[in-house]
Amino acid sequence: MDNIKWIFALYSLGAILSMALIGIAVALRNIPLIFIFLILLFVIMGFGFKTKKKMRDAGML
């Protein structure tokens, strides 16, 4: 339990929330919200991958 990388847990929860919000926006048939949440999903996932690369290069993973 000590080796949990909490930053990655937060990134994954943010991505899951973005996916859920995309589903809600689709249900509401709100095109602008769909694109906003889709962009948010890409940003969150991008930060997650970027953080993982930095940590791997620093030998922290």
Instruction: List the domain boundaries for the chain.
Output: 12-57
Contacts of 45 (CB under 8 A, 6+ apart): 11, 15
CA dist 26 and 11 (Å) reads 23
- Block residue for tokens 């339990």: 1
Answer yes or no: are the C-beta atoms of 39 and 15 closer than 8 Å.
no
Task: Select the more confidently predicted residue: 1 or 44.
Answer: 44
Q: What is the sign, positive or negative, of the torsion defined by CA atoms of 31, 33, 38, 42?
A: positive
pTM exceeding 0.75: yes
Q: How far apart are CA 42 and CA 61, in angstroms?
A: 23
pLDDT at residue 48 in the model: 96
Tell which wins on pLDDT, 5 or 25: 25
Q: What is the mean pLDDT of residues 38-61?
A: 95
Token readout for 27 is: 């249900």
